[in-house]
Structure 1
């Protein structure tokens, strides 16, 4: 096992066009999440713990499509998916179509740590949450007025065609990839899905190899975008395979796989927008996206980088104030 690796973490807040002030909120949210995970790493914490901590920050932020602020199903309910994976052991835990849980990523970690299974869904996932004494979160604490209005507007705009039209759906899935001092890599992804989805619909996010993957010998990936399209090409493992068998760097593999995704699905009736983040075994964070925007942030060597638009890359020095709150001093 490698030792004395420089720890790093990268997070994303979805491949989507952020309307109004949500761009700034998403930018700030990813900065806070990356800093939280980086703090775990610099204190000697594991990549798994850093990924979980970062995603909890994103799930608690209503600017993102995960946890609080998840979009609504066609019946006006919330069903959430999450996954976490250990690149050292290849152990993974995931939940899908889970309800009334504030942080699905925590429940996914429990599936990995407390069961012999990889994925629990629906009522079974919620029963497991009860067995683990996970506090129930009332829907009124998870459903925002914004998402109520979004569902109503979507149905009014698309009518009977709303169920099959993906052109204006949310893709604000959140995710994180980290490497710790021991060289261990982990990834996690969490989502509330897409507005007006059928109850029981599950996209790519909670499925290892599709919504993300982690292997210490190669690297880690977390995906975001239209789940059905990502599922059809097994995007995460496609990238991992390019790194493993074609000797491409993480950046090269991500760029290539996203470009090829549209070509492979040219006859599919689907929204082909997607984005990814990753860290290779070399410890370098990367991101790539084919959408107009993707919120991302990564931290390494005491520096934090973030952006939303193409070509945007803000750099900060990470500090804390007297109350232990994170501060970002922008580099000139």
Structure 2
């Protein structure tokens, strides 16, 4: 047994750093390490896997390096619309929110939906009102402003084009997520995102959709995905990994690699995922050039970008 264990991601895609970017690269690795350390410490102090992934994602939402929370991209209307989800593998209860605006930490609202409502998902104006009524912290537009995100939006503004947070040239940013297994062998997953630059029509990606971008089941594994959301939705990627384990007898590594490197790639989808099973095995496959990712258990801590 390799319990407890945690893994996190900060997006996938074409990730490049020049020699002059060594300081920025270190900032990414430091941010990943900080989230890992706090999440893992909670696990060692008998907190649940669900509590741990929620906290780890909150830390990443507070970092403007990633496309979630503070670092969320601009929509076509120049706003920030955020989605998040969390799932408890022990109870199979889940909470998700979509289209939040102004909320500092969307994953906390998703966790509240899991804990305190009979629903799985709430969206739009009603989700924002839910967050207000339950006293979640809101921030002004200036909190979510970053020059890089603004510049990305200005390049696309008015063109009717949308882009993934990891598309194009240069340094990339991404959706964040965490998966964990606690000392009792319970697994959990959480994912948070700012979506696509210049997105319109109320578009929602895979991150808040249970079974597509986020899934957890003690019988199999916990999954958090990152990449081209439409392909992850069509392929029900997170649940597909679980099904291959439950019905096909595959190991976590076999199932995750098959889905990312074969099924998803064959359908034209780009991205990756992080996964952990109830024994503490971790897998972090991706079919893009790189993925911001890290894992930690009792014997090792690993953070990677490429």
TM tier relative to shorter chain? over 0.9
Query: Which aligned pairs between 1:296-315 and structure 2 lie closer than 5 A?
Result: 296-309=293-306
**Which residue in the other structure is 1:141 paired with?**
143
Structure 2 unmatched runs, 5+: none
Residue among 217, 231, 234 paired with 1:232: 234
Residue among 267, 270, 283 paired with 1:265: 267
Q: CA, structure 1 residues 171+202, in 2 after alignment: closer, same or farther (shift >3 Å)?
A: farther
Q: Is the 8 A contact 1:86 1:215 kept in 2?
A: yes
**Which residue in the other structure is 1:283 paired with?**
280
Greater shift, 200-209 or 253-262, is seen at 253-262
**Which residue in the other structure is 2:161 paired with?**
162
Secondary structure of 1:289's match? coil
CA distance in 2, matches of 1:130, 1:64: 24
What displacement does 1:70 show?
0.3
CA distance in 2, matches of 1:262, 1:114: 35
What displacement does 1:171 show?
6.3
TM-score norm. by structure 1 comes to 0.85
CA distance in 1, matches of 2:259, 2:232: 11
Q: Is the 8 A contact 1:273 1:290 kept in 2?
A: yes
Q: Is the 8 A contact 1:171 1:224 kept in 2?
A: no
Over aligned residue pairs, what C-alpha RMSD do you find? 1.9
Larger Rg: 1 or 2?
Answer: 1
Secondary structure of 1:216's match? coil
CA distance in 2, matches of 1:265, 1:136: 39
Query: Which aligned pairs between 1:187-206 and structure 2 lie closer than 5 A?
Result: 187-206=189-208
Q: Deviations over 1:276-300 (max 9, x none)?
A: 1000122111100011110111110
Q: Larger relative CO (CA 8 A, sep 6+): 1 or 2?
A: 2
Which runs of at least 4 in structure 1 moved beyond 4 Å after TM superposition?
164-167
Count of residues in correspondence between the two structures? 298
Secondary structure of 2:285's match? strand
TM-score norm. by structure 2 comes to 0.92
CA distance in 2, matches of 1:122, 1:104: 12
CA distance in 2, matches of 1:58, 1:11: 9
**Which residue in the other structure is 1:317 paired with?**
none
Q: Deviations over 1:186-238 (max 9, x none)?
A: 00000000111115110000011000210011111110001111111111011
Greater shift, 257-266 or 221-230, is seen at 257-266
Q: Is the 8 A contact 1:95 1:125 kept in 2?
A: yes
